[in-house]
Amino acid sequence: MTETPATADTAPHPAHRRAQPRRWLSILAALGLLGLVSRLLWLPHPTDAGTPVFDEKHYVPQSWQVLRGTDGGGGLLVGGIEDNPGYGLVVHPPLAKHLEALGMAVFGNTPWGWRIVVALLAVGVVLLIAATARRLSGSDWVGLTAGILALCDGILFVTGRSAMLDHFQAFFVVLAVYLLLRDHEQMERLFRRIADEGRVTDSALGPRVGYRWWRFAAGAALGGAVAVKWSGLYYMAFFGVAVVAVDWWRRRRHGVARPFTGTLLRDCVPAFASVVLVPVGVYLLSWRSWFASETGVFRHEASAGSDRISSWGLDFLPDTWLSFLYYHVSVLGFHGELTNSNGHHHPWESKPWDWLASTRALLYHSASDDSGRREVVLLIGTPAIWWLGVPVLLWGLWRIIGRRDMRWLVPLVGYAAGFLPWLLNVDRQMYLFYATNLAPFLILGLALVLGQVSGWAVRPDGPPPPARPLRPVVAEARHLVLTKTGMLVAVAYLVLVVWMFLFFLPVFTGMPLTDDQWQLRMWLPGWT
């Protein structure tokens, strides 16, 4: 989330260095249109005899209860609660199910109703990834590259058409990254203006920067991520540390005499308010329906005289808050016990190291049509994207350590927040859809690499050599290959990604396949 001075090694290629607003709006419009077509086409397929598939079976009934709960008054965003005991109790915060209920309010309890909101947010994820890549690089070309990769990634595609929770969270996480990047740009402009006026070192602590509305909005987005799934807490922690570290780096780079003390006294408290207190407020607000209800899960546990609650010694708290804490402790216990050691084995589960290259798939749906052909929805990452994951991450580490290319903080910190915490308890039951939040940061890294590669050339730009008689086309082609080598490689890679996405599209959408067609797409043992 930092800015690197342009050098011969980090600057975009001259052919696409300048970002032009009008051209960029056209690119966003094209990406948005392609996103709508790809995410909405054949959206109601598949179903299980008209009912949800896979873990949609837990969340769709809960979302329908949220909508029907508004009959008691208060409206969808206040009155609805979910009390479907899909796991014995409702084990995830309510925000995604409230959003899903909006689609049901329009289309009813149908596949369109279940999936329309997540599909629209999936288009938003594509646009946010593209916009973030453009701001990181200053290049429309890099932004377009990121958008194409996001459109063609299998994990983003499948989860963006499923009435589960993960893509809702991915939207809020990527939105938070984009807003934090805008905050960084605003602070950079402010410090440069103050430096031009000669006022940066007026105080040993550096200047006061005022209220940072972009960071406040990022905190609200992080609150949305936590209000979808508790794993949003990881992003609060990692992004909060990164924000403070960048604030210190900025004060130090601009010559502040005491950058650490300045950051501690002038940046840390506001950062804590924006990245911690605001998300907590948003999270609590997402539970408003539970507080307003009389039938929510464990809503009256404290007033019923629970021995477990009385043993806490927190009698000074109101019964409502004691019941709220009891609910959270119960959910935490559920997640803590969901381990292989307790006998919770699933044939399609995977571990974090499987996510690195999408080597273990996840079956969402399987059926056969009347002719015996398979109709399967399989969650896998597009190989041309995910099989480059580890090299891209290692390249990003080298760019930060060896070249001080601090743009790589964004993909690396984001990827680390979605990957490293899961290594702390590998015995827990896990699935590939947990990697949904990794995909945007892998794509941002790939886009930065392609932006750099596209500027490489075997020979610098220059006039083409004189063409031999009858061979002008060959001469022009040779000149193009020598002077635009990197751009041709980048375009060829994007063509490969698009082709691979289309090749695997039948297993992303459940199109009928013969056994031979199915086997042709099963490249790894972990996919079957």
Tell me the per-residue pLDDT of 345-402, one tens digit each, with 9 for 90 and over. 889 999 999 999 999 999 999 998 778 799 999 999 999 999 999 999 999 999 999 9
Q: Write the CB contacts of 24 (distance below 8 Å, at least 6 apart in sequence).
A: 134, 140, 143
Query: Is 80 exceeded by the pLDDT of residue 465?
Result: no
Cβ(510)–Cβ(379) under 8 Å?
no
Burial 246-274 (b: 16+ CB within 10 A, else e): bbbbbbbebebeebeebbeebbbebbeeb
Which secondary-structure segment (H or E) carries 378? strand 374-379
Mean predicted lDDT score pLDDT of the chain: 89
Measured distance CA(471)–CA(474) in Å, rounded:
5
pTM equals 0.93
Assign 342 a pLDDT band (cuts: 50, 70, 90): confident
Measured distance CA(183)–CA(1) in Å, rounded:
9
Give the 3-state secondary structure of residue 363: strand
- One-letter amino acid at 56 equals E
* Residue appearing with tokens 């209220």: 211
Which secondary-structure segment (H or E) carries 508? helix 485-509
* Residue appearing with tokens 């290594």: 423
Query: Is 90 exceeded by the pLDDT of residue 2?
Result: no
DSSP state of 463: P
Stretch 38-62: mean pLDDT: 94
Supply the angle between the helices 485-509 and 472-483 in degrees, to the nearest 10: 80
Cβ(243)–Cβ(249) under 8 Å?
no
Token pair of 475 as six digits: 């001469």
Of the candidate ranges 153-162, 300-309, 458-467, the one whose mean pLDDT is the lowest = 458-467
Q: Write the CB contacts of 293 (distance below 8 Å, at least 6 apart in sequence).
A: 69, 79, 81, 299
Assign 195 a pLDDT band (cuts: 50, 70, 90): confident
**According to the model, what pLDDT value does residue 478 have?**
75
What is the 3-state secondary structure of 109-157?
Answer: CCHHHHHHHHHHHHHHHHHHHHHHHHHHHCCHHHHHHHHHHHHCCHHHH
**According to the model, what pLDDT value does residue 307 have?**
87
Assign 12 a pLDDT band (cuts: 50, 70, 90): very low
Reference 240, options 215, 265, 212; nearest CA is 215
Reference 443, options 215, 91, 131; nearest CA is 131
Stretch 77-81: mean pLDDT: 66
Assign 207 a pLDDT band (cuts: 50, 70, 90): confident
**According to the model, what pLDDT value does residue 13 have?**
43
Cβ(219)–Cβ(247) under 8 Å?
no
Cβ(34)–Cβ(437) under 8 Å?
no
Measured distance CA(180)–CA(487) in Å, rounded:
30
**According to the model, what pLDDT value does residue 182 have?**
97
Of the candidate ranges 124-138, 307-321, 404-418, the one whose mean pLDDT is the lowest = 307-321
Tell me the per-residue pLDDT of 210-242, one tens digit each, with 9 for 90 and over. 899 999 999 999 999 999 999 999 999 999 999
Q: How far is CA 58 from CA 54, 283, 504, in A?
A: 8, 21, 27
Assign 78 a pLDDT band (cuts: 50, 70, 90): low
Query: Is 90 exceeded by the pLDDT of residue 508?
Result: yes
Query: Is 70 exceeded by the pLDDT of residue 131?
Result: yes
Reference 450, options 413, 497, 416, 511; nearest CA is 497
Token pair of 50 as six digits: 């008209």
**According to the model, what pLDDT value does residue 461 have?**
64
**According to the model, what pLDDT value does residue 4 have?**
39
